[in-house]
């Protein structure tokens, strides 16, 4: 039986439609949720990410402001900009686009954001709320993963889940969310002994390790659900031939686009061994921006003492 492709675009569009209705209701009582995106430097990938976020704000009717700062912005100047946004009532969400230049302490900047406006869900106060299962702002990619599972009617309760990756923005929070949904969760990383053997125990396998096609067939239990969080860019034919058993289609993509996006899971193995999986591109990444919008709307409600929208 062929594996089910978990279409991120379909789920994203469902969430966008729900958010559009919520935003219309808020506007009817004089509230327009607002998001400020702060970008330091001219990194092309970061520029692209911020543009996509501003574009979705516009499509949903959210107020958005993009704040471009030069790469030589000092840490104090950035902290001053954050303080200014903290005080602006029209701004409900503050996004600090990472990574920041090396001379800036990213943790200090994140901690300077008002937790009520931390739509990335990575301020220590919001991390604590997540751990204690207290309602709050949840990191966007992990929240998107749960949306995919719940809306695709994939059972989480009682499932054995394995998360490969322990980052503060994906691995740890998605493990905590899965635990709150009553999965039995194991977190693995590069130093886990017998990693493939542990991963093969998973009913739900989340790959968020940041290495192209690192997870191969030996990691996947037949019939498991595989959530591929990785976004890696291949730029040479040699890389593609090394990863794919049949490189013909990927090579055509490389020729036409100059690069190929691939996740942390070998895509042919994932399609063959899983019961359902998220593709790259077209999977988890699409949900990340949608959940940023959801957090902005949620923050607007929380800041004004309004009833919050239902979240999974």
- To the query of whether residue 47 is one of the catalytic residues in this protein, the response is no
Beta-bridged to residue 64, according to DSSP, are: 35
Nearest Cα to 6, choosing from 154, 139, 184? 154
Tokens representing 94? 């503050």
Return d(Cα 79, Cα 36) in angstroms, integer: 14
- To the query of whether residue 172 is one of the catalytic residues in this protein, the response is no
CB count in 10 Å sphere of residue 235: 11
Cβ neighbours of residue 216 under 8 Å, at least 6 residues apart?
196, 265, 266, 269
Pick left, alpha or beta for residue 259 (phi over 0 → left; psi -120 to 50 → alpha; otherwise beta). Answer: beta
Tokens representing 268? 């042919």
- To the query of whether residue 120 is one of the catalytic residues in this protein, the response is yes
Check 22, 92, 97, 117 and give the catalytic one: 97
Check 53, 117, 221, 273 and give the catalytic one: 53
Tell me how far CA of residue 116 lies from CA of 29, 126, 300, in angstroms. Answer: 21, 9, 9
Cβ neighbours of residue 192 under 8 Å, at least 6 residues apart?
198
The number of helices, as runs of H, and strands, as runs of E, in the chain is: 12, 11
DSSP 175-200: HHHHHHTT-EEEEE-TT-TTHHHHHT
Nearest Cα to 49, choosing from 298, 308, 303, 289? 289
Check 92, 114, 118, 120 and give the catalytic one: 120
Cβ neighbours of residue 54 under 8 Å, at least 6 residues apart?
37, 64, 66
Residues serving a catalytic function are 53, 97, 120
């Amino acid at each position: 039986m062929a594996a089910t492709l978990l279409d991120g675009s379909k789920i994203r569009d469902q969430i966008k439609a729900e958010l559009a209705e919520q935003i219309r209701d808020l506007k009817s009582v004089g509230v327009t949720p607002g998001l400020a995106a702060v970008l330091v430097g001219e990194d092309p990938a970061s520029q692209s990410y911020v543009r996509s976020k501003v574009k979705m704000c516009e499509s949903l009717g959210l107020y958005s402001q993009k704040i471009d700062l030069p790469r030589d912005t000092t840490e104090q100047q950035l902290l001053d900009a954050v303080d200014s946004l903290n005080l602006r009532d029209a701004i409900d969400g503050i996004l600090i686009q990472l990574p920041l230049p090396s001379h800036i302490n990213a943790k200090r900047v994140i901690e300077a954001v008002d937790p009520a406006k931390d739509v990335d869900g990575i301020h220590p106060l919001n991390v604590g709320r997540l751990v204690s299962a207290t309602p709050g702002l949840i990191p966007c990619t992990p929240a998107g993963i749960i949306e995919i599972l719940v809306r695709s009617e994939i059972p989480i309760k009682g499932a054995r889940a394995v998360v490969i990756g322990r980052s503060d923005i994906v691995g740890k929070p998605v493990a905590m969310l899965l635990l709150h949904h009553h999965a039995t969760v194991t977190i693995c990383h590069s130093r886990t002994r017998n990693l493939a053997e542990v991963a093969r125990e998973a009913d739900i396998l989340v790959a968020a390790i940041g290495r192209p096609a690192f997870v191969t067939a030996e990691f996947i239990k037949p019939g498991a659900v595989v959530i591929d969080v990785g976004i890696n860019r291949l730029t040479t034919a040699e890389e593609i031939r090394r990863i794919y058993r049949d490189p013909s289609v990927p090579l055509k993509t490389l020729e036409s686009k100059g690069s190929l996006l691939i996740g942390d899971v070998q895509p042919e193995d994932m399609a063959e061994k899983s019961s359902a999986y998220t593709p790259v591109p077209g999977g988890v990444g699409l949900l990340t921006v949608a959940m940023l919008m959801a957090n902005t709307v949620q923050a607007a409600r929380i800041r004004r003492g309004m009833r919050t929208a239902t979240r999974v």
